[in-house]
Amino acid sequence: MRIRPALTLVLVAVLALAACGDDDGPATAPSGVLTVEGALDLSGSSVVDVAGFLHIDDRGPKLCSAILESFPPQCGEPAIFLVDFDPGTVPDLEEEQGISWAEGYLAPLQRVEGSTFRVVLR
């Protein structure tokens, strides 16, 4: 298979543009609060406010980037695993079939390791 030179240039340009990312820092919500993706992109263990969809199942609590529309809902990836979390502090927690969830959950978090974060009381 022979690729024409003009097509090769177009492919190279498209790949180069795709590789260019927005390097303005971690992803934030309009209020300056980090998204789940933004928190996972951070290095270090600073306390940051993170918003997402809270999902609790038999594997524990997670802050998800999205809630999948099944019923009961499932956690969309990426997700942050939460430690030192008290579900009693969540006013609008819904529950069905052993799954609990809340939309628009906001918490101060501090990285423990990898994708595991601690909920920090202020």
Residue 44's identity, in one-letter code, is G
53 burial (CB, 10 Å; 0-12 / 13-18 / 19+) is buried
Which tokens in the block code for residue 85?
């979390």
Q: Stretch 71-96: mean pLDDT, rounded? A: 93
- Could you read off the pLDDT of 20-73 as tens digits, one per residue? 334 444 454 446 799 999 999 988 888 999 999 999 999 999 999 998 989 999
* Closest residue by Cα to residue 117 from 66, 46, 33, 68: 46
Closest CA to 53 of 1, 8, 2, 72: 72
Model pTM above 0.85: no
